[in-house]
């Protein structure tokens, strides 16, 4: 008989791995700053760090603060009707009680595809949006499993965590651009010795590859947060098979291509599954393989 997976163990491991991956992004950022300091002047290290942080924070702040409004507007979501969407409202209320969180604002998006997302900068300003297809095709246990998954994202502050990752990636991109431009102002004496030439070559490679690698790490963080939300959601419902069954229906449905136009590519990572059904390799995917998610839930 296969060994059962623990809710708490899965949650703890995935949170730890997410934090470690975030640490890798920070190390990349510091490494770029160090290379710039070596090419130009060591005293510029902290100036580069501070400028990158300020520019990236300003760029990301608006998206973070208004994340719920941006996401809802982009998909044309409407507030749920307490009478028309009674089952949905009851499911959200139940999961709100199970999680100990405030009742989020509930919205419905017009789409035949089974999907849902949560957004908001904190639990008090959170929203949950469910597609009309999910309400039509999922039974009570499956719908509660999906809602629990989204409540888990809220409970785990995943919007805040992924926003931090976005800020860091922005910082790396800015610092990498500074690194490339710093060659125009580099001390020419550094180019006359072997060590200086090596630093320049390494710097060029890092400046080109660092933003790409950082984005791949961010994708890995996103996949870890999905696993964590699955496990946390299963903890809320105490019935992981509900979400597993919903994921199986999501995997098996065939959505018309025209229907996918209702989704926004920028907000696609927020959804419980990729609304565009893209078959990326795991490295470039924002969501883990559905089969692996189902396997883990069924083993809990």
Q: Rounded to an integer, what distance in angstroms lies between the CA atom of residue 86 and that of residue 279? A: 35
Residue 1's pLDDT is what? 44
Cα(271)–Cα(113) distance, rounded to whole angstroms? 11
Q: What is the pLDDT of residue 111?
A: 93
Asked if 75 contacts 133 with a C-beta cutoff of 8 angstroms, the reply is no
Identify the active-site residue in 113, 142, 144, 150: 150
pTM: 0.80
For residue 78, give Cα distances in angstroms to 75, 144, 272: 9, 20, 19
pLDDT at 71: 83
Instruction: State yes or no: is 150 an active-site residue.
Output: yes
Q: Environment class of residue 62 by beta-carbon count within 10 Å: exposed (0-12), middle (13-18) or buried (19+)?
A: exposed
Contact 26, 168 (CB under 8 A): yes
Please compute, for residue 281, the number of CA atoms within 13 A of its CA located in the half-sphere on the CB side: 2
The CB density around residue 123, as the number of other CB atoms within 10 Å, is 17
pLDDT tens per residue across all 300 residues of the chain: 456 666 567 667 767 777 777 777 778 777 777 776 666 666 666 676 677 667 666 666 666 677 778 888 888 999 999 999 999 999 999 999 999 999 999 999 999 999 999 988 788 889 999 999 999 999 999 999 999 999 999 988 887 777 767 767 777 777 777 777 766 655 545 555 666 677 677 777 877 887 888 888 888 888 988 999 999 999 999 999 999 999 999 998 887 777 777 887 778 888 999 888 776 667 788 899 999 999 999 998
| Residue-range domains of the chain with CATH | 7-67+159-221 (no CATH), 68-157+233-266 (3.30.2010.10)
Query: CA 134, CA 143: separation in Å to the nearest integer?
Result: 7
Q: State the Cα–Cα distance between residues 226 and 101, nearest whole angstrom.
A: 19
Q: What are phi and psi of 117, to 5 degrees?
A: -150, 160
Number of Cβ atoms within 10 Å of the Cβ of 218: 20
């Amino acid at each position: 008989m296969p060994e059962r997976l623990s809710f708490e163990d899965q949650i703890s491991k995935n949170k730890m791995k997410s934090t470690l991956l975030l640490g890798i992004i920070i190390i990349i950022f510091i490494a770029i700053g160090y290379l710039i300091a070596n090419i130009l002047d060591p005293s510029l290290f902290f100036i580069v760090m501070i400028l990158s942080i300020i520019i990236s924070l300003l760029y990301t702040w608006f998206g973070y603060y208004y994340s719920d409004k941006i996401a809802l507007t982009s998909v044309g979501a409407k507030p749920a009707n307490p009478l028309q969407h009674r089952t949905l409202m009851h499911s959200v209320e139940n999961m709100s009680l199970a999680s100990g969180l405030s009742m989020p604002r509930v919205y419905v998006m017009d789409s035949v595809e089974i999907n849902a997302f949560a957004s908001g900068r904190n639990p008090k300003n959170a929203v949950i949006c469910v597609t009309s297809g999910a309400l039509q095709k999922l039974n009570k246990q499956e719908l509660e499993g999906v809602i629990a998954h989204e409540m888990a994202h809220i409970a785990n502050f995943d919007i805040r965590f992924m926003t931090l990752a976005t800020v860091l990636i922005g910082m790396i991109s800015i610092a990498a651009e500074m690194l490339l431009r710093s060659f125009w102002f580099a001390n020419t004496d550094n180019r006359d010795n072997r060590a200086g030439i090596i630093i320049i070559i390494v710097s060029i490679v890092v400046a080109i590859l660092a933003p790409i690698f950082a984005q791949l790490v961010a994708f890995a963080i996103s996949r870890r947060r999905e696993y964590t939300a699955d496990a946390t959601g299963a903890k809320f419902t105490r019935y992981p098979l509900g979400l597993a069954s919903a994921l199986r229906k999501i995997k098996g449905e065939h959505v018309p291509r025209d229907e996918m136009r209702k989704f926004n590519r920028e907000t696609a990572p927020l959804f419980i599954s990729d609304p565009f059904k893209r078959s990326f390799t795991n490295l470039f995917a924002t969501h883990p393989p559905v089969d692996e998610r189902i396997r883990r839930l069924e083993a809990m």
